[in-house]
């Protein structure tokens, strides 16, 4: 079974094989210096992946085979990557979009093809994610039980600030916020998009990027983590951490 952008394809096709790599392609950046052996390692990152999914289309009783092919094509055609879920891993999803050719080998009222899903973000994300909630400022330990890779969390802080400082500190980062935070508003740090904003009472967002002193956004490890929120002439009532747990 395969679900794409909320549409269950099990009624129209059988998934025969999924070409999932053990890891995404690894991109290594290094620097060579004339006269020295080897190279200096700079960084490693995960490249996008392509998932080949071999499927068999079978006729549906409510439409002809050709009508069904058009119907399937319409549900696969997206303008941007959407959530893709496979039956053997129902607790995680990856964002994907169809790429390459999708020619079908037809045999009577059935056909086989390989769908190539391009995944610009090579991570699988937990469908039911871990959320950690703490009351008031302080230092808090918590454990990420899901995923096998560092995650880029979304952290919400509710409180008030007018001329003071709210400090968010994790094991490897620290950000100071000096902007205004009114009653009922929520300060948000989004590590995935490397942005900070204030969610206002009416639901609109107000950028807070100019009110923070660092773009070193928090990263959560698999397992044990710590977050510390402190204030100076400000107050904090609630801290909520959406882990965005993920797997390679």
Q: What is the pLDDT of residue 106?
A: 64
pLDDT in tens, 77-126: 999 999 999 999 999 999 999 998 877 776 556 788 999 999 999 999 99
Q: Where in the chain is the domain with CATH 2.40.30.200?
A: 2-122
Q: What is the pLDDT of residue 103?
A: 79
Residue with tokens 């950000």: 175
pLDDT in tens, 9-18: 999 999 999 9
pLDDT in tens, 165-204: 999 999 999 999 999 999 999 999 999 999 999 999 999 9
What six digits make up the tokens of 71? 């119907």
Q: What is the pLDDT of residue 104?
A: 77
Q: Where in the chain is the domain with CATH 2.60.120.860?
A: 128-247
Asked whether the predicted pLDDT for residue 60 surpasses 90, the reply is: no
Residue with tokens 């230092």: 139
For CA atoms 80, 146, 144, 131, the dihedral sign is: positive
What six digits make up the tokens of 80? 């941007």
* CATH of range 128-247; options 1.20.58.1910, 2.60.120.860, 1.10.3720.10, 1.20.120.1200: 2.60.120.860
Fold classification of 2-122 (topology level): Elongation Factor Tu (Ef-tu); domain 3 (2.40.30)
Q: Using CB atoms within 10 Å of the CB of residue 235, give its burial: 0 to 12 exposed, 13 to 18 middle, 19+ buried.
A: middle
Interatomic CA distance for residues 194 and 152, integer angstroms: 9
pTM reported for the whole predicted model: 0.86
């Amino acid at each position: 079974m395969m679900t794409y952008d909320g549409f269950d394809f099990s009624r129209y096709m059988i998934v025969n094989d999924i070409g999932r790599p053990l890891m995404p392609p690894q991109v290594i950046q290094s620097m060579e210096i004339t006269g020295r052996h080897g190279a200096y390692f700079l960084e490693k990152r995960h490249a996008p992946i392509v998932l080949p999914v071999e499927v068999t289309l079978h006729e549906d009783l409510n439409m002809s085979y050709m009508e069904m092919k058009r119907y399937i094509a319409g549900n696969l055609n997206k303008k941007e990557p959407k959530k893709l879920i496979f039956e053997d891993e129902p607790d995680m999803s990856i964002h994907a979009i169809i790429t390459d050719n999708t020619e079908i080998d037809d045999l009577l009222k059935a056909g086989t093809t390989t769908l190539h899903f391009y995944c610009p973000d090579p991570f699988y994300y937990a469908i039911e994610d871990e959320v950690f909630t703490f009351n008031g400022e302080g230092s808090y330990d918590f454990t990420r039980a899901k995923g096998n890779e560092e995650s880029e969390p979304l952290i919400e802080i509710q409180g008030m600030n007018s001329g003071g400082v709210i400090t968010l500190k994790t094991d490897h980062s620290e950000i100071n916020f000096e902007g205004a935070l009114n009653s009922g508003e929520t300060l948000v740090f989004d590590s995935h998009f490397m942005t900070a904003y204030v969610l206002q009472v009416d639901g609109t967002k107000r950028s807070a990027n100019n009110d923070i002193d660092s773009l070193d956004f928090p990263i959560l490890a698999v397992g044990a983590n710590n977050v510390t929120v402190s204030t100076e002439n400000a107050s904090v009532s609630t801290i909520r951490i959406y882990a965005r747990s993920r797997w390679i």
